[in-house]
Amino acid sequence: MFTPPLESIPADLVSLSDYARYAKQHLPTPIYEYIAGGGADEISLKRNRDAFDRLLLQPKVLRNMSQGQTQSTLLGSPLRYPALLAPVAFQQLAHPEGELATARAANALDTGMVVSTLSSTSMEQLAETLEGPKWFQLYFQQDRDFTLNLVRRAEQAGYSHLMVTVDAPLHGIRNRAQRAGFQLPEHVRAVNLDDRPPLPRKVLEPDQSIVFQGMMSEAPSWSDINWLQQETRLPIILKGIMHPDDALQAKQMGIAGVVVSNHGGRTLDCVPAAFEVLPEIRQAVGTDYPLLLDGGIERGTDIFKSLALGANAVMIGRPQIYALAVAGALGVAHMLRVLREEFEVTMALAGTPTLADISAQCLWQPK
């Protein structure tokens, strides 16, 4: 048995890690394991968190903080502070109201939200609910006409940006979810894909691979990204970039920005944390190209460190689902408020009144 969502926030729930702890009581075990788990041995999942913990800050004191502020603009979208809610699929797994509750929390805390292709609430309903920045995350579909239909729906609904996930053309090996026996419940589905044409049946020869000639045969390539650029007026951001060469190619193609991400450690295992490769990607693309960081953000100090190493903003993934499971919209709003306050306190105590003051000089480099 599991506990229904709370209607108030307990006194001992004061951090994002507390939400992860509480969520175990509010989710069936298979669903919790699916959300919390990573790929294979979860080496990359662990690195996402450990990478932040290894890097320390070196504060300066006696700075004038009277004009301190956290506002910024990212690709034309105004942000109260440099964080967005990441696209997370099937949020009705965590709460009956799913993405609608998350959207209301985003409104309450002036936080932008990236809506998933695999949301369990329609992109149109979420667009009508969201008051702040709303971006749409796109998974390429095997049927390119249907892919374009999703893009047209996002345009018509008023989404301002298109975030294309490029690091998950197929699922990673998720042993923890397999061991827990996770299956998507009948009442939860990707409603944006209701009208998707049936997937073609493909007969493979004995010497052909179910991965390469099967599941990957229709995976998108750089030419598909170029095709999408010709088909939409929306700025395109690529999510799932881990190599400087890919980031540089995206920039050279005119892609608006990239998200440095290893998909929360859920696809390919044994890759570095996104945070670890952020500096070399920033170096490759130069100082002015928009970079977001995704994966492992749990503290205001994590946002600060990400900006110090070159990110323009971060995205919050699992914590929004834990908070949603614990207390619905109230939980997500409280989680966002905690994170924002932590970030402001970090800036104040580090001696950095504005985002422009946050740089690699704020980090402690052991001699």
Q: Is 26 a catalytic residue?
A: no
Q: What is the pLDDT of residue 214?
A: 43
Mean pLDDT by 10 residues, the chain (367 residues): 91 98 97 97 98 98 95 96 98 98 98 98 98 97 94 98 94 94 96 88 59 56 97 98 98 98 97 98 98 98 98 98 98 98 98 98 89
Q: What is the pLDDT of residue 201?
A: 66
Give whole-number Cα distances, 116 to 33, 57, 104, 129, 295, in Å: 20, 34, 16, 15, 16
CA 238 to CA 165: how far, in whole Å? 6
Structure-derived torsion over alpha carbons of residues 292, 297, 300, 303, reported in degrees to the nearest 10:
-20
CB 305 within 8 A of CB 363: yes
CB 316 within 8 A of CB 86: yes
Q: What is the pLDDT of residue 203?
A: 59
- pTM, two decimals, is 0.95
Q: Which domains does the chain have, with CATH numbers?
A: 16-58+68-193+220-362 (3.20.20.70)
Q: Which residues pair with 315 in a beta bridge?
A: 84, 294
Choosing from 26, 95, 161, 263, which is the catalytic residue?
263
Q: What is the pLDDT of residue 366?
A: 80
